[in-house]
Every structure is written in C-alpha cells, then in structure tokens.
Structure 1
Amino acid sequence: MESIAPLWLWVVFVVFVVAALFVDFVVLRKQGSHAVGVKEALNWSLIWVGLSFVFNALFWWAVKDSTGSTALANEKSLEFLTGYLIEKSLAVDNIFVFLVIFSYFAVPAEFQKRVLMIGILGAIVLRTVMILVGGWLISEFHWLLYVFGAFLVLTGVKMWWAAGKEASLADNPALRLLRRVLPVSKDFDGEKFFTVEHGKRIATPLFMVICLVGLTDVIFAVDSIPAIFAITQDTFIVLTSNVFAILGLRAMFFLLKAAADRFHLLNYGLALILVFIGSKMLLIDIFKIPVAVSLGVVFTILAITMLWSSRTSAKA
C-alpha cells in the first residue's frame, strides 16, 4: 500500500477529520433537534466542498514540495478531484435509499440530522478499514482489479434496470432480521435509541433506522470503493477523497431531499458512470484512460442527466 503523500500530510488529514467531526457534533448539540432547511443545507454543502478543495490544494503543494515535479502534483491532485467527484455522485444513490428509510419509519424531520451524523461517523470507520484492506489486496493480487471491474459493470447494468422503480423496505431481509433479533417499540421516544416499555428495555424505531443506514452504507461502499481504485491505487488519495465526500453527505441529503423530484433520472447517469469506471478497470493493462478524460466523462454524464431531469420534471 504505497502512497506519495508525506507522513505529515497523513497527520494533517487525521487531525482535520477529527476537528471537523468535533465541530459538527458541537454545533449539532447546541442547535438541538430541529428540521434542517435548504439554506442551512446549502451553506454546509458549500463549506464541505470548499474545505475539500483547500485540502486538495494542500495535497498538490505537498507532492510538488516532496518530489519537485509540478506535473506529478497536477496528476495526483486531479486523481483526488476525480475520486471525490465519483464518490459524491455515487453517494446520491445512498441518499435516495436514506429517503426511503426515513419515509418508511416516518422519522420526524428534527431527528434526521442526528441519525445522519452517527451514520457518517460509522461510515468513516468502516470505509477506512475496507479501503486499507482493499489497497493491500490489490497490491498483492493485481487480478482483483478485473474482478472489481466486472462487478462494477454488472452493478451499473443492474442499477440501470432498477432506476425509476419504486423502492420498498417491506420485504427487506435486513429489516426482517433486525426485527427478529430486536424487540422494537411502536413509537419514537425523542432521540433515544432505547426505551422502557412494560418494564422491559427495548429498541426504538430510531435505533432500527441507524442500523439500516449503517448497513446501507456498507453495501454501497462495496460499489464505490472499487470505483476509486480504478482511478488510482494510491491509498491516501482513495481514503481522503472518500472521507471528504462522506463528510458532506449530511448536507447533501437535505439538499437532495428538497429537490428529489427534479433529479428523478439521476440513477440512470450513476449506472452509466459505474459501467464506464468498471470498463476502465477491465482495460487497465491494455489501455489506461487518462484521469482527465475520466473526470470529463463523469462530469459530462452527471451534467447531462441533471439537465435532462430538470427539463422533464419541469414539463411534467
């Protein structure tokens, strides 16, 4: 698991993530339970995106300073940007599933922020482990790239066919398993995960939501993490681009929640992105598609799909 990033930049990254989470949790505690509006979500989205670009600029400077090569610094920062954009776009699919979960359990708007914050914390830990293990496996077994590539292509095809269909949790096996293992109360008890009912301590629906959000992120990480390995095998770039995309997930959720109907065709674009990234991975030893081309393709697909979605929703 090699990385071009110097050790001090790893330390800066860890300190930054811990500080960002601390500030977010402190702000959350001071604000208390409340429904997040579009303005607040937009402000936080801009902050997270801005911080990601600042970190990428620091990464560019660190590579240039340690190697003396501007061209290499440009290439590595472009890899970060491409990985970040891919993760951001694939996170949209997570968000649509989160919307279904919140709707199914009728989670009050004022509780959704806390659920997402805890989900983000769990996602960072789980994805870090998956990325480190995945990086080691790829460095030891190069042929796994072909397995990942084929998996992404098949996932993209499956996502295309499933796009536009109504998602449902009624027959979800994970939900059925959780209900068998955990007795659950019928009503929420504020933001508590457990409550006492008839003298017995049982889980609340909010705890079920937390579990499903965590399971959903693990499932989607299986798709998104191989997608970044198609762009770069540098563990630092894979990890940092992934984590920065996750940090802005909560704010992006509330933005897309307000505009879900306007981007109803976005899953078709995400399916095409997965097929493209999977194909890039399958061709890696035959023809290496430049990172700038990959970034352009991903950006173009997203732009066309969002524009198409806006126009068709406007006509409807």
Structure 2
Amino acid sequence: MDYVIPAWFEIGSFVVLTLILIADLLLVVRRPHVPSPKESGLWVAFYVTLALIFAGLMFTIVGPDAGGEFVAGWLTEYSLSIDNLFVFVLIMAQFSVPKKMQQEVLMVGIILALLFRGVFILLGATLIENFSWIFYIFGAFLLITAAQQALSGREDDEERESKLIGFLRKRISITDEFHGMKIRTRVHGKTSFTPLLIVFIAIGTTDLIFALDSIPAIFGITQSPFIVFTANVFALMGLRQLYFLLGHLVDKLEYLKYGIAFILAFIGVKLVLHALHENEVPFINGGEPLAVPEIDTWTSLIVIVLAMAVSVAASLLKLRRENRYIPSLTGPSDDDEPAVVEATAESEATVRGARDAREG
C-alpha cells in the first residue's frame, strides 16, 4: 500500500456515511411501504452514483491506486451482496413475510451485516498486520468457498432453513402468524415468539456466513481497512431497494453463482500468490519469498467486471433461448402478476396448439 489516506477524509467519510444510513433507517421507520420498481430503480441509481462519486474522490484526493482498489473492492462486495440478496428472497418467501414488513426486515438485515463485517474487518486487519501467513489461509478459504458456491444447489439453502425452523419450533413456542414487527406477543394469555424471530435468526446467520466470505475476498484486493469498510458500506447501501427491483429476477440468473465462484477463486489465487511473494513460513522455500507473479488491482478490476457481465448475460440469454418469462425492471405490480402469468400461459398454449396443428 503506497498511499496515505488523509485523516480528515476518513473522518468526513464516516460522518457522511453514518448520516446517510440514519436517514435511510428513518425513512423506513416513518414510511413503511412496498416501493414501486421505478422508486427502487431511482434509489439504486442514487446509491451507485454515490459510490462512483466516492471513487472519484479517492482517485483525486488519495491517488489512482486507492481509487482502483476501492472500485474493485466495491464491485466484489456488490456481487457478493447480490448473492446475499437471493438468500433474502428465499427467507422472505419461505417464512411468508408480509410485503409491508419486508423493508423493515431488510433494514435490520443490512444493519446486522454492517456490524458483522465491521468486526471481521477489524479482526482481519489485525491478523494481516501481525501474521503475513494469514494470506495462505484466506486464499485456501476462498478457493474452498468458490468450489462450494459452484457445486452447491439452492436447494441446500432451503434444506438448511427447513432444519432451522424445525429445530426452533420444537424448543420454543412460536405463533403461526406475524404480529407486525413484534418478536414476542401474547396469544390467549400465553406469551409466544412470532415467526419474525426465526426470520431475524435466519437473516443474521446468512449475514455472518457472507461476512466470512466477503472480508477475505476484499482483503485480497486491498489491505486498507478504510477501503474495505467503505466498499462494504456502499455495497450494502441500496441493497434493500435492489431487493424490490430485482427480487423477482435474481433467482432466475442461473449462471450468476458461477460468476461469483470464479471471482472468489480468482481472488483466492491472488491471495496465495501474494502470500508466496511475501513468504515468511519456514517450511516453504526456507522462509524466503518466492519469485511469483502478482496480480495488480487493475487486472483484478477487469476480471471482476467481466466475470459478472458474462454470468449475467449468459443467464439472460438462456432465459430468452428457452422462451421463459423475463420480468421487466419496471415490472408488474402485485395485482398485475396473476394476469401476466395467465396471459403467458395462454400464449404458450396457443403456440403449442398451433404447432400441434401443423404437425398433425
């Protein structure tokens, strides 16, 4: 790391980001509603623009290396956040969380994610500063995670959530219905927990798992705790709006998990190469560094962008090739969805009928 981030810039950034997060939280509390696709899209564009402005400030004030590391780290965390988003979609669907509550539930999930990642960032920075060999462990961990990401099915997530529900329901009294944002309530004179408790536990567990994946990944791009944290904050800001914008589409991006797996594997290899380049482990080359190539930030940035672009494009092309319904980003409202499904079914039936008639 050949640059120095001014203290005033770090403090100012933390103050501004804190104010933005508080404003976002107050907006959810005071005006709980299901945002329209247009509203969600505008908010996502706003947060992406904020991240790009911050990147521009990093380029101008700190230097191109710091700016490049932030952009690469932000894109990496953003891609992992999209994967996190799928699990949020799964949790909301499986526990039948009412739509009017989903904004508040998602905000809790994002706050938990920030807390978990903050703890792991501090821990990771301390380990890196004192133990250079930790890069070997980070690299191996990311390579294993990449393999699991590529080979595991989404059915595994559903199975884990089902086991969690069964485990909790056997041990504590849980109502069948939600009671607003209450975690505990009284029903027929008996105090019971609501399904919201299970939802928060599921989301918190998911956040913890993704923090374990994402922090080693971004430390493979930059060793600056400030860049690591700000990249995570900007990746998580707007995730709530992205949920309402892409929630109906994210589970249809079949090849997205392979793109994310490739990114994790690539950063894992980069970490191992860096560890070999800085080697101090006695049983590897007698504790002397090895003359191995290192992957620079700009190469990482190009690889990350291409991996995400190719995986998303391939997923959309497969949907189109199979003539499957691709929801629009300005998609239908809840009231329109049955009509869309019905119209799509009728259209497919008409096509099949015409084809059968020709073949007959």
Output the TM-score relative to the length of structure 1.
0.91
Aligned ranges 1:243-258 → 2 under 5 Å: 243-258=233-248
Q: Distance in 1 between matches of 2:172 and 2:267?
A: 39
Q: Distance in 2 between matches of 1:177 and 1:288?
A: 47
Shift of residue 3, structure 1, vs aligned partner: 7.9
Shift of residue 35, structure 1, vs aligned partner: 1.9
Deviates more, 1:3-12 or 1:89-98: 3-12
Shift of residue 262, structure 1, vs aligned partner: 4.2
What residue in structure 1 maps to residue 20 of structure 2? 20
For structure 2, the 5+ residue unaligned runs are: 278-291, 323-360
What residue in structure 2 maps to residue 38 of structure 1? 37
Shift of residue 258, structure 1, vs aligned partner: 2.5
Q: Distance in 2 between matches of 1:3 and 1:176?
A: 52
Bigger radius of gyration, 1 or 2? 2
What residue in structure 1 maps to residue 29 of structure 2? 29
1:298 counterpart SS class: helix
Shift of residue 202, structure 1, vs aligned partner: 2.2
- Is 1:100 aligned to residue 90 of structure 2? yes
Q: Distance in 2 between matches of 1:31 and 1:118?
A: 15
Contact 1:261 1:313 in 2 (8 A): no
Q: Distance in 2 between matches of 1:200 and 1:140?
A: 53
1:263 counterpart SS class: coil
CA-based RMSD of the aligned residues comes to: 2.0
Contact 2:86 2:251 in 1 (8 A): no
Deviates more, 1:162-171 or 1:185-194: 162-171
Q: Distance in 1 between matches of 2:209 and 2:54?
A: 28
Residues 31-72 of structure 1: CA distance to partner in whole angstroms, max 9, x if unpaired? Answer: 22x223221211111111111112222233332xxxxxxxxx
Aligned ranges 1:208-227 → 2 under 5 Å: 208-227=198-217
Deviates more, 1:189-198 or 1:79-88: 189-198
Contact 2:184 2:194 in 1 (8 A): yes
What residue in structure 1 maps to residue 139 of structure 2? 149
What residue in structure 1 maps to residue 177 of structure 2? 187
Shift of residue 279, structure 1, vs aligned partner: 0.7
Greater RCO (Cα-Cα under 8 Å, separation 6 or more): 1
2:41 corresponds to which letter in structure 1?
A: L
1:269 counterpart SS class: helix
2:103 counterpart SS class: helix
- Is 1:297 aligned to residue 297 of structure 2? no
Distance 1:303 1:106, change over 3 A: same
Contact 2:109 2:204 in 1 (8 A): yes
Q: Distance in 2 between matches of 1:3 and 1:211?
A: 40
Deviates more, 1:172-181 or 1:93-102: 172-181
For structure 1, the 5+ residue unaligned runs are: 64-72
Aligned ranges 1:64-83 → 2 under 5 Å: 73-83=63-73
Q: Distance in 2 between matches of 1:236 and 1:105?
A: 36
Residues 87-128 of structure 1: CA distance to partner in whole angstroms, max 9, x if unpaired? Answer: 000112211111111111111111111001111112112211
Q: Distance in 1 between matches of 2:106 and 2:115?
A: 14
2:246 corresponds to which letter in structure 1?
A: L
Shift of residue 184, structure 1, vs aligned partner: 1.4
1:159 counterpart SS class: helix
Deviation >6 Å, runs of 4+: none
2:240 corresponds to which letter in structure 1?
A: R
Contact 2:256 2:312 in 1 (8 A): yes
Contact 1:193 1:204 in 2 (8 A): yes
Distance 1:282 1:35, change over 3 A: same
Shift of residue 174, structure 1, vs aligned partner: 4.5
Shift of residue 173, structure 1, vs aligned partner: 5.1
Q: Distance in 1 between matches of 2:134 and 2:162?
A: 30
What residue in structure 2 maps to residue 69 of structure 1? none
Distance 1:302 1:6, change over 3 A: same
Output the TM-score relative to the length of structure 2.
0.80
1:17 corresponds to which letter in structure 2?
A: L
What residue in structure 2 maps to residue 125 of structure 1? 115
